[in-house]
């Protein structure tokens, strides 16, 4: 707040506490004149340049304070009953036995300190939210199942959990983790124009994966392709249960393929896995 000395027109910035001791009167630090600061009291200064602050009339009726924020409760008055010497019988005090009521053991607990009772609606809402969260987590896990199973940290945990529960993890294809250890080609012992190709394949992945689709390409000395055939898993793995289990992690499988001999020009062959 701001006020102005009426003698030297000096403007002062002050707090409300300075107006309390002398009921609004102040002494000017410049001319030492004593003046009523309430006459020119202002919350903001007018835009410059200015000479005098607006003066307020101090002889009006007091304004009405209408916005109440607090009213303390009146303290109960203690009334002492003096004994009258002229009375023949002294005043008696009612006892617990006479009234039949004892309020000394009552305990009053504030409303905010009372324990709140949880209704069945709250429990049902919490249970529903938990089920929805679990369902969402299961959907995300199923959508990312290949990534989770192939992960070296999560995959073994999932395999251990399925072994305990009795479930089977879906097979994740990783043809790049299959290694061809040995291969050989020779004339078919019982078919005149047939070739017998054998291969030994190891699964270097940390998880079981389905038997791959094997592509065999026969070529001549110049590298030109003479013949190509793609073998499905059922073409070289006759056991359906073995195909369903897939190639276990770290396991080696021997594969045998029968192809038709394209002639004496076929001098090289190549394997690929899909």
Q: How far apart are CA 224 and CA 268, in angstroms?
A: 10
Report pLDDT for 211.
93
Q: Which residues fall within 8 angstroms of residue 249, CB to CB, at 6 or more apart?
A: 203, 205, 206, 207, 208
Report pLDDT for 85.
54
Place of tokens 């080609």: 185
Report pLDDT for 101.
59
Report pLDDT for 116.
62
Report pLDDT for 79.
60
Residue among 208, 205, 216, 200 at smallest CA distance from 273: 216
The answer to whether domain 175-273 has CATH 2.60.120 is no
Residue pair 254/200 in contact by the 8 Å Cβ criterion: yes
| CA pseudo-torsion sign 150, 156, 158, 162 | positive
The alpha carbon of 157 is separated from its chain's Cα centroid by a whole number of angstroms, namely 24
Q: Which residues fall within 8 angstroms of residue 2, CB to CB, at 6 or more apart?
A: 11, 12, 13, 14, 41, 42, 43, 44, 45, 53
**Element of type H or E holding 132:** helix 120-143
Per-residue pLDDT of the chain (274 residues; tens, 9 = 90+): 899 999 999 999 988 888 888 888 999 999 999 999 888 888 888 888 888 888 888 878 787 777 776 777 777 776 655 555 555 555 555 555 555 555 566 665 566 555 666 678 888 888 999 999 988 888 887 788 777 777 777 777 777 777 787 777 788 888 888 998 988 888 888 888 888 888 999 999 888 899 999 998 888 878 788 888 899 999 888 889 888 888 988 999 999 888 887 776 777 888 889 8
Q: How far apart are CA 274 and CA 271, in angstroms?
A: 10
* Domain limits, the chain: 1-57, 121-165, 175-273
Residue pair 259/229 in contact by the 8 Å Cβ criterion: yes
Q: Which residues fall within 8 angstroms of residue 90, CB to CB, at 6 or more apart?
A: 83
- Cis status of the peptide bond prior to 49, with omega within 30 of 0: yes
């Amino acid at each position: 707040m701001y006020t102005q000395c009426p003698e030297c027109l000096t403007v002062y910035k002050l707090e409300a506490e300075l107006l309390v001791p002398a009921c609004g009167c102040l002494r000017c630090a410049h001319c030492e004149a004593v003046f009523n600061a309430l006459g020119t009291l202002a919350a903001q200064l007018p835009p410059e340049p200015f000479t005098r602050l607006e003066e307020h009339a101090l002889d009006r009726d007091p304004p009405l304070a209408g916005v109440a924020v607090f009213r303390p409760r009146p303290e109960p008055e203690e009334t002492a009953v003096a004994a009258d010497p002229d009375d023949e019988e002294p005043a008696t005090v009612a006892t617990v036995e006479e009234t039949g009521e004892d309020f000394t053991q009552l305990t009053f607990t504030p409303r905010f300190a009372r324990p709140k009772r949880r209704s069945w609606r709250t429990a049902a809402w919490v249970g529903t939210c938990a089920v929805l969260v679990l369902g969402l987590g299961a959907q995300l896990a199923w959508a990312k199942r290949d990534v989770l199973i192939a992960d070296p940290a999560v995959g073994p945990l999932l395999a251990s959990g399925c072994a305990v529960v009795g479930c089977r993890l879906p097979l994740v294809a990783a043809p790049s983790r299959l290694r061809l250890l040995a291969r050989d080609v020779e004339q078919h012992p019982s078919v005149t124009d047939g070739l017998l190709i054998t291969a030994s394949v190891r699964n270097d992945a940390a998880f079981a994966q389905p038997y791959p689709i094997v592509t065999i390409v026969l070529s001549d000395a110049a590298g030109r392709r003479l013949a190509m055939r793609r073998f499905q898993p059922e073409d070289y793995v006759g056991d359906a249960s073995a195909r369903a289990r897939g190639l276990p992690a770290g396991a080696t499988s021997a594969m045998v393929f029968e192809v038709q001999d394209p002639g004496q020009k076929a001098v090289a062959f190549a394997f690929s896995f899909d």
